[in-house]
Chains A and B, each alone.
Chain A
Amino acid sequence: KAGVTQTPRYLIKTRGQQVTLSCSPISGHRSVSWYQQTPGQGLQFLFEYFSETQRNKGNFPGRFSGRQFSNSRSEMNVSTLELGDSALYLCASSSPGPPYTQYFGPGTRLTVL
């Protein structure tokens, strides 16, 4: 079974631009979560989607948004990029039904100049 895939793997943007990251979950997984990983803050939860609905949200500004499509694929958007948004953005899909286990993709490395 194919794992979680994320595109693109690397992105370089400048301050003020916006960016969209994509995640395809493991087949059969309907829940997708997004995390930001930085050396200073570690792994922080952004949001979680299930059946095209955001069910949970972390403590990030409104510049960070996401959505999920009917095929469970998810996108994350960051508008008005800041230098501090440079990070590895990880997507995880959860196995259906309890106990829920999250499986991670390779991440998108975003660099903001």
Chain B
Amino acid sequence: AQSVSQHNHHVILSEAASLELGCNYSYGGTVNLFWYVQYPGQHLQLLLKYFSGDPLVKGIKGFEAEFIKSKFSFNLRKPSVQWSDTAEYFCAVIPRGSLGNEKLTFGTGTRLTIIP
């Protein structure tokens, strides 16, 4: 079974700082990878996803993530954060080639607090 680790539980940054949130997964086969964001009081929203091709994927709101297969990692980055990026961020993985019945396995989440 697959698993996901997010080692940063709570990250505090000042506005304009650069961001990198770590995500590592464990699975014997190929996977599809996702980052979801949950803003305070709002529902989980898809930030970006990786299925195949270019390992550097760009998402909404200036976020990007890089899939490094050899490291089983899919770290989320943003060059300059804003106060509005304050939220909880979840990395998730699903086996590729599934019939659509596979579950998304989530990491425990990273709470990001941006100080104005």
Measured in the bound complex, the distance between the Cα atoms of B102 and A98 in whole Å is 12
Residue among A55, A56, A100, A105 with the highest chain B CB neighbour number at 10 A: A100
- B32 contacts chain A at the CB level, 8 A cutoff: yes
In the complex, what residue of chain B is closest to A97 when comparing beta carbons?
A: B100
Q: Name the contact of A103 in the complex, choosing from B46, B103, B105 (C-beta under 8 A).
A: B46
Q: Count the B residues whose beta carbon is within 8 Å of the partner chain — how many?
A: 26
By the criterion CB–CB under 8 Å, are A100 and B43 in contact? no
Q: Chain A residues near B51 (CB, 8 Å)?
A: 99
- Number of contacts between A and B (CB, 8 Å)? 57
Q: Using Cβ atoms and an 8 Å threshold, which residues of chain B touch A45?
A: 103-105
Given contacts A42-B109, A99-B32, A105-B43, are A56 and B49 in contact (CB under 8 A)? no
Shortest B23–chain A CB gap in Å is: 14
* Interface bracket on A: 20 to 34
Given the contacts A33-B103, A42-B108, A45-B104, A100 and B46 also touching, CB distance less than 8 Å = no
- Residue numbers in A under 8 Å from B45 (CB-CB): 104
**Nearest CB in chain B to that of A99: its residue:** B51
Contact with B along A74-95 (1 / 0, CB 8 A): 0000000000000000101010
| 8 intermolecular pairs with C-beta atoms under 8 Å apart | A42-B106, A42-B108, A42-B109, A43-B104, A45-B105, A55-B100, A56-B101, A99-B96
